[in-house]
Amino acid sequence: IAGITQAPTSQILAAGRRMTLRCTQDMRHNAMYWYRQDLGLGLRLIHYSNTAGTTGKGEVPDGYSVSRANTDDFPLTLASAVPSQTSVYFCASRPTGGSSETQYFGPGTRLLVL
Amino acid sequence: GENVEQHPSTLSVQEGDSAVIKCTYSDSASNYFPWYKQELGKRPQLIIDIRSNVGEKKDQRIAVTLNKTAKHFSLHITETQPEDSAVYFCAASKYNQGGKLIFGQGTELSVKP
């Protein structure tokens, strides 16, 4: 069981380019999330999805889009990257139903936009 | 919307001492408060959480206290060890309403042997 995986591990991207960060989980969790982590700012929610076919905006959604075609995958797309999107991106998933609120994080993607 | 403030930003203690990290939140409707530990270069991992119907929760050397009236909660680590050195994040959310976590800014804990 892999849990939750992200790809790529790291990426250097030219400003203006399009980029998709991949996130896959094999735990059959309904809810998935994308966060960005910047020094001194903690983790900030970009977009989320409570179940396949639905998505919602988090704290900092501008410049990002997501889709949730199935339970396992939750890709994050930067349509036209800008240097301020340089960050570490974490995907997370959470089981729904029952009493657990625990979010499980992927290993992260380090993105540098030049 | 919810805002979570975390203090201090850095904390240095001697091995064996206690460490306390404090967070305040703004939305009185928040009712779920997890704490995550993140080691250098690793992913955040849940270490303890508390719901608003409980005032305190303990797990071995780690405890969390919650004051709903004052809207603040704290992480207490006793008998600190060098492997406790990491960045700790508090967060708040509304249980059963999408699980959207709002995080504090993080506290870098250093435990000196």
In sequence order, what E strands does B17-98 have?
19-25, 32-38, 45-51, 56-59, 62-67, 72-77, 86-92
- Distance, CA of B2 to CA of A105 (rounded, Å): 22
CB proximity B62 to A under 8 Å: no
- Nearest-by-Cβ selection for A58 from B49, B100, B105: B100
CB proximity A48 to B under 8 Å: yes
3-state secondary structure A46-82: EEEECCCCCCEECCCCCCEEECCCCCCECCEEECCCC
Enumerate the residues of chain B whose CB falls inside 8 A of the CB of residue A100: none
Average pLDDT over residues B87-108: 89
Question: For chain A, how many residues are written?
Answer: 114
Interval B64-95: pLDDT, tens: 999 999 999 999 999 999 999 999 999 999 87
Interval B18-62: pLDDT, tens: 999 999 999 999 999 999 999 999 999 999 999 888 899 999 999
CB proximity A89 to B under 8 Å: no
| pLDDT value, residue B54 | 83
The DSSP call for residue B84 is: G
Q: What is the pLDDT along chain A (114 residues), one digit of tens a residue?
A: 569 999 999 999 999 999 999 999 999 999 999 999 998 788 999 999 999 999 999 999 999 999 999 999 999 999 999 999 999 999 999 987 766 778 999 999 999 999
Would the pLDDT of B13 be above 90? yes
Would the pLDDT of B15 be above 80? yes
Mutate to test the interface with A, among B51, B87, B100 (most CBs of A within 10 A): B100
| pLDDT value, residue A39 | 83
- Tell me if A41 and B89 make a contact (CB, 8 A cut-off): no
- Nearest-by-Cβ selection for B100 from A45, A105, A107: A45
User: Rounded to 10 degrees, what is the CA torsion of B100, A41, A76, B39?
Assistant: -90
